[in-house]
Structure 1
């Protein structure tokens, strides 16, 4: 089966230009902090994925159905409602960190933070690092 046709694919978009275009001043400032944090954790430069996600590294996945594709290992997006961080393994394996993180909401692999002051930055760093390490161990 062919690779999945995803809307969210890596491209040559300018990450800093995208982040500087964020209207919400606090969300923009928080995004720049997360950008530097993820650069430090991964040791890599960011790439744009689609028109509104900043991602780091990439992995190839293949489902039992045969569907396959490529996605980033860790990333974020300054959405209107919240700063969204993508923790690709989900949160089940990080119960202890999540208890200490602070104020947030989650989706399947999305961590929604209103502002960085709502969370413990050391715990956030641990969470991102653990997620990235897991994805790298699993997918290379």
Structure 2
């Protein structure tokens, strides 16, 4: 079994958000944390040094069934250049709804948003809900 580099930590999510720069990212992080907590009902956990995650699941690599691990169901990182939001396009329903989010770009495993003002917050809430209710649910 392979071990993922990014794993849950005991570090303070609040301290991490408070250290985000610029100030706008700190404000965005506080708002996103509030939204993610409300929609998921989960307590946030800092994964690695910079990702705030809500919930987790066990994954099995499609290319090698011996490669398994845990990953966050959904979450975000208030990075300096842009917000990275995880899990929004992992489920088919999320991938279909994603084009209605607003202005964003995509990475391999996340969606990048420069300004929260550029996206539809109700669509974001729906995407978070879909991501958190993923079919691979596992006990936390």
TM-score by length of 1: 0.88
- Contact 2:26-2:78 within 8 A present in 1 as well: yes
Distance in 1 of aligned mates of 2:119 and 2:88:
19
Q: For the residues of structure 1 that align with 2:50 and 2:131, how far apart are their CA atoms?
A: 21
1:21: which partner in 2? 19
Residue of structure 1 equivalent to 2:132: 132
Q: Which deviates more from structure 2 when the two are superposed, residues 55-64 or residues 83-92?
A: 83-92
Q: Which runs of 5+ in 1 are unaligned?
A: none
Displacement after TM superposition at 1:106 (Å): 1.0
Residues 76 and 83 in structure 2, CA contact (< 8 A), matched pair in contact too: yes
Distance 1:89 1:117, change over 3 A: closer
Distance 1:59 1:95, change over 3 A: closer
CA contact (8 A) 2:88 2:111 kept: no
Higher helix share: 1
CA RMSD of superposed structures (Å): 1.7
Aligned structure 1 segments of 4 or more residues deviating by more than 4 angstroms: none
Secondary structure of residue in 2 paired with 1:97: helix
Aligned length: 136
Using the TM superposition, name which of 88-97 and 112-121 deviates more.
Answer: 88-97
